[in-house]
Amino acid sequence: MSRVFVVQNQHRRNDRGLLEPKFDFSSAEEYGPLSYLLGPSAAPWNPEIIIPELHEKLKDFSSKDHLLLVGNPILIGWATAIAADSADGEISLLQWSGKDRRYISVCSQVFDWQP
């Protein structure tokens, strides 16, 4: 079964000051169960912590899985590179389609990957 790896779990404060999810990813679940790679406080200032965490969580990433690119752009870049390495360069990404009101797979690319 394929899985969806969400790069960063982002939250916002609601009217009562409570944290709640910033985005509704329920339509992405048609591609598989969601797995959050990093929490909302993850920042690129601590690569010695973040990069090993991404390696551990993406070690079994395969060409059947998807990345949902949400969060800090540097963290997204690291997650994409690590996922591509785990899947020998074949990665699929999800993109929100406002017209269709759901996530769609927009990229399944095999890169000439030479680690």
State the pTM of this model: 0.87
For 54-71, the pLDDT digits (tens) are: 999 999 999 999 999 999
Residue 78 buriedness (CB in 10 A; 0-12 / 13-18 / 19+) = buried
**Whether pLDDT at 90 is above 70:** yes
CA pair distance 109, 106, nearest whole angstrom: 9
Structure tokens at 61: 């990433």
Average pLDDT, the chain: 90
